[in-house]
Amino acid sequence: MKIKSRHFVLAAALLAPCLASTQAFGAPPPDPTEDRLMMSAGFLTSHPDLRYRLLGLEEFKATRHEDALRFFQRASYYGDKPSQGMVAEMYWSGQGTAKDPVLGYIWMDLAAERGYEGFLLLRERYWRQLTEEQRSRALEEGQNIYAKYGDAAAQPRLAGVLRRERRNVTGSRTGFAGNVKIYVPGPGGFEQIDGTKFYDERFWDPKLYQAWHDSVWMKPRVGRVSVGEVEQIQRDSPGSRIPATAPRVDAEEPQTPERDESDLGTQKDG
């Protein structure tokens, strides 16, 4: 599918296959959302950041933009930076919601929180287009959004889910999944996944899982980014301009419509 709006360079990047860098891990693990058996075995149930991002993309492709925004916000609740970037672009352009450049900037600032260069570039483009009044409003209103969706609140939530679901596997209480076999029903009978693949620590240990995301998103994947622009971002870009505020880990989770998730991650656009 082609993204027609010129604003949604990020959506185009999200719809492309994710090619992880080899720097963090040597040979990176395959993207689990590209594996039909992993998806059928319920991987997304234990990874709400990926689950709600993929649902948001399905809604976005179907032009159900209001629902897409809600799914991206729910993924953002678990610290998914690409989803936070999509929320930013939707507020910035007024797709699925009223146009609000201030909220667009706040959400892109949030997406750039870990220093991902593509999001930093977009954040600085947004900042340059805000008026002084809008900038003041962004710094004030951004504190509440950071309190709920910033890493200080979102990462403990996601870590709790990963640890809980990891403990649920038979034999995993000692941290060993090599003797676990997962059977997935298919058209020709049951298919099998080794526990060492499904429970690869890089997808379940919170620190390793974030490192995997970092390997995918740290370098620019959005828009046409010139080397000069990236060097300028690295040299001159400040950290978040929004004042720090206490995280609200127990903030209410956004709600989303019910959707059939059986095909998520298994069908790709031609």
- Sign of the dihedral defined by the CA atoms of residues 258, 8, 49, 242, in that order: negative
pLDDT score recorded for residue 42: 75
Res 267: pLDDT:
46
Could you give phi then psi for residue 229, rounded to 5 degrees?
-65, -45
At residue 185, the 3 state secondary structure works out as: strand
Q: Which of 70-84, 133-147, 170-184 has the lowest mean pLDDT?
A: 170-184
CA distance 66 to 254: 13
- Asked whether residue 98 carries a pLDDT value surpassing 70, the answer given is yes
The pLDDT value given to residue 15 = 57
Confidence band (pLDDT; 50, 70, 90) for 59? very high
Percentage of the chain exceeding pLDDT 70: 65
Q: 44 near 261, Cβ under 8 Å?
A: yes
Which CA distances in Å does 38 have to 42, 43, 118, 210? 7, 6, 29, 19
> Who has greater pLDDT, 161 or 40?
161
Secondary structure letter of residue 192 according to DSSP: E
Query: 168 pLDDT band (50/70/90 cuts)?
Result: confident
- Residue 202 pLDDT more than 50? yes
Predicted confidence band at 238 (pLDDT cuts at 50, 70, 90)? low
What's the mean pLDDT in 199-211?
89
Residue tagged 């939707």 (tokens): 90
pLDDT reading at 32 higher than 80:
no
Q: Evaluate whether 107 touches 91 at the Cβ level (below 8 Å).
A: yes
Task: Provide the 10 A C-beta neighbour count for residue 152.
Answer: 17
**pLDDT over 90 percentage in the chain:** 52
Q: What is the pLDDT of residues 13-27, one digit of tens each?
A: 665 544 333 333 345
The pLDDT score that the predictor gives to residue 3 is 42
- In sequence order, the 6+-apart residues with CB closer than 8 A to the CB of 266 are 36, 39, 40
Question: Which range has highest mean pLDDT (40-49, 121-130, 160-169)?
Answer: 121-130
| pLDDT band, residue 165 (cuts 50/70/90) | confident
pLDDT score for 218: 87
